[in-house]
């Protein structure tokens, strides 16, 4: 995923001790304030909302102004080296801020926290607290320890923690779209990935708590939820009271049934696990979006085997064909890595031709960055020169731009149901929304009495490689 940033909102920065709770929509008095920045995948953003809820229950309010915060947290990602470099830079800046405010505490959350705990605490002295993804309930006690000058650490992984009973506080939400975590951890030991070591084994959240959270979001005015998991297709929970097994397809259906006005998305699917049952469930309900993120990582069977992806190029292509057979016009996106260990020009060509075949609507493309502690770091030599990695990356990016533009152009002169999410970033006189295929649409407000969360039919008149441009067609 592209790196993103999230910070808690304050209702009025000038009113000391007060903060706006976006869930209850009222100003309350808090004893201290916290500030959170999140980096990496959507799961980290969802985790930050859980952390906000835990802190809120202890009397801490969110702020967007880091200078007035009593607690500063970075929720971190270890997927790419660039992410870690950015976090280190921010920690250094926060340490300078702390010199002006000695009582301030700086903490690191998430995957990078688990991986670099001793180095950050002892060698570099950049943080006061280090808290892993499964240890957020211990935050109040850890903050108490840190306030006495002790270094507070909890990076223990859990086999059962899902935070299913904690109602997240939507820190930086548009009030329309929300993430809902349905599971944690990962059992897929992809050789390039650090997630199984930083987030632990896979476990599914109680389905009742998921649907309850979705219902509360809908009642609060949200009109889209994204069900999150490292591999949502392997969601599996047994309702012992009803003696019922809830698969991901059944959970998807239960979510769709909350209301026909609620759009449902999900991320991420693993090619080996997504089932026809899931595809037919999407086809059955109009409010489940026709968009699937299906990471491939490489188009070469040899590289896929080294990556431990457990499928072949042919299997993957067959799965894409099946998606388009059951869901004609379904948007499909992917992840692709160039320059993995021992990758040859022939392997790279295999990735290129797979992208030519699939013609993705959206793709997240990176060159390989070796991560300490992964299977690849222990087993293989990172032997592809960075210059070669970058050149191959640019080649697949150039190809994808052609496909992306073609995908957008196919939608010109068509009309789509669009969910209004916010004002356009460029003009308050335009709306920003998305189709159920996950394509961004910008269109003028005109004199229609519409607001965020409304659905509207938009005729597409033109496009760029990343945006559809249209007008209301009611």
Query: Of the candidates 90, 109, 106, which has an alpha carbon nearest to the alpha carbon of residue 98?
Result: 106
- In the numeric block, the tokens 């790419």 are attached to 80
How many Å is the maximal CA-CA distance in the chain?
64
> Whose CA is closest to 355, among 302, 412, 407?
407
For 174-289, give the CATH class: alpha beta
Q: Which residues of the chain have pLDDT under 70?
A: 1-29, 78-81, 114-124
Q: What pLDDT, on the 0 to 100 scale, is given for residue 14?
A: 28
Q: How far apart are CA 250 and CA 225, in angstroms?
A: 16
Please give the pLDDT value at position 25: 45
Q: Per-residue pLDDT tens for 43-84?
A: 888 999 999 999 999 999 999 899 989 999 999 876 666 777
Contact 80, 42 (CB under 8 A): no
Instruction: Note the pLDDT of residue 28.
Output: 55
- Torsion, Cα of 276, 277, 283, 286 (10° steps): -150
- Name the CATH superfamily housing domain 18-154: Methylthiotransferase, N-terminal domain (3.40.50.12160)
Q: Are 355 and 329 in contact (CB under 8 A)?
A: no
Other Cβ atoms closer than 10 A to 253: 19
For 301-452, where are the alpha helices, taking DSSP H only?
Answer: 301-307, 313-326, 345-358, 375-379, 386-409
pLDDT confidence of residue 124: 61
Domains of the chain, by residue range, sit at 18-154, 174-289, 290-410, 415-472
The number of angstroms, rounded, from the C-alpha of 17 to the middle of its chain's C-alpha atoms is: 31
Instruction: Classify domain 290-410 at the CATH class level.
Output: alpha beta
For position 253, what pLDDT does the model report? 98
In angstroms, the CA 166 to CA 164 distance is 6
Bridge partners (DSSP) listed for residue 266:
227
CA angle 340, 343, 347 (to 5 degrees): 120
Cβ(73)–Cβ(2) below 8 Å: no
- SS (HEC) of 411-429: CCCCEEEEEEEEECCCCCC
Q: Give, in order, the Cα–Cα distances in Å from 437 to each of 18, 411, 444.
A: 40, 11, 21
- The superfamily CATH assigns to domain 415-472 is Nucleic acid-binding proteins (2.40.50.140)
Cβ neighbours, 10 Å, residue 474: 9
| Reported pTM | 0.88
For 236, other C-beta atoms within 10 Å of its C-beta total 14
What's CA 323's distance to the chain center, in Å? 22
Domains 174-289 and 415-472 share a fold: no
DSSP letter at 233 equals: G
């Amino acid at each position: 995923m592209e790196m993103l940033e999230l910070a808690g909102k304050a209702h009025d920065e000038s009113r000391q001790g007060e903060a706006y709770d976006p869930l209850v929509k009222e100003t309350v008095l808090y004893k201290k304030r916290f500030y959170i920045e999140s980096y990496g995948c959507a799961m980290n953003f969802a985790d930050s909302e859980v952390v906000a809820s835990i802190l809120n229950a202890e009397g801490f309010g969110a702020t967007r102004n880091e200078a007035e915060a009593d607690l500063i947290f970075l929720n971190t990602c270890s997927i790419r080296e660039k992410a870690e470099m950015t976090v280190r830079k921010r920690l250094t800046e926060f340490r300078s801020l702390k010199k002006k405010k000695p009582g301030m505490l700086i903490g690191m959350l998430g995957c990078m926290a688990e991986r670099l705990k001793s180095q950050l605490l002892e060698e570099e002295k950049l943080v006061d607290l280090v808290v892993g993804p499964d240890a957020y309930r211990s935050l109040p006690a850890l903050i108490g320890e840190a306030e006495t000058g002790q270094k507070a650490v909890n990076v223990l992984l859990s086999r059962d923690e899902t935070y299913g009973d904690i109602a997240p506080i939507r820190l930086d939400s548009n009030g329309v779209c929300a993430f809902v975590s349905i599971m944690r951890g990962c059992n897929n030991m992809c050789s390039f990935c650090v997630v199984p070591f930083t987030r632990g084994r896979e476990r599914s959240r109680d389905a009742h708590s998921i649907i309850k959270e979705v219902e509360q979001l809908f009642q609060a005015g949200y009109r889209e939820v994204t069900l999150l998991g490292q591999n949502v297709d392997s969601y599996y929970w047994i309702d012992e009271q009803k003696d019922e097994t809830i698969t991901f397809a059944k959970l998807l259906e239960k979510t769709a049934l909350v209301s026909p006005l609620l759009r449902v998305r999900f991320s991420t699917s693993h090619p080996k696990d997504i089932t026809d049952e899931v595809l037919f469930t999407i086809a059955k309900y109009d409010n489940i979006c026709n968009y699937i993120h299906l990471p491939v990582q490489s188009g070469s069977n040899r590289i896929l085997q080294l990556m431990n992806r457990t499928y072949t190029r042919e299997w993957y292509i067959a799965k894409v064909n099946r998606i388009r057979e059951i869901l004609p016009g379904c948007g499909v996106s992917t992840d692709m890595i160039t320059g993995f260990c021992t990758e040859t020009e022939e392997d790279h060509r295999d990735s290129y031709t797979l992208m030519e075949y699939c013609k993705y609507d959206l793709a997240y493309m990176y060159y390989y960055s070796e991560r300490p502690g992964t299977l690849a770091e222990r087993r293989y030599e990172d032997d592809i020169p960075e210059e070669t990695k970058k050149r191959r990356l640019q080649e697949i990016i150039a190809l994808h731009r052609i496909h992306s533009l073609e995908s957008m152009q196919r939608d010109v002169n068509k009309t789509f149901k669009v969910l209004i999410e916010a004002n356009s970033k460029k003009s308050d006189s335009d709306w920003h929304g998305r189709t159920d295929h996950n394509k961004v649409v910008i269109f003028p407000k005109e004199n229609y009495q519409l607001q965020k969360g409304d659905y509207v039919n938009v005729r597409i008149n033109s496009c760029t490689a990343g945006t559809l441009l249209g007008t209301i067609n009611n």
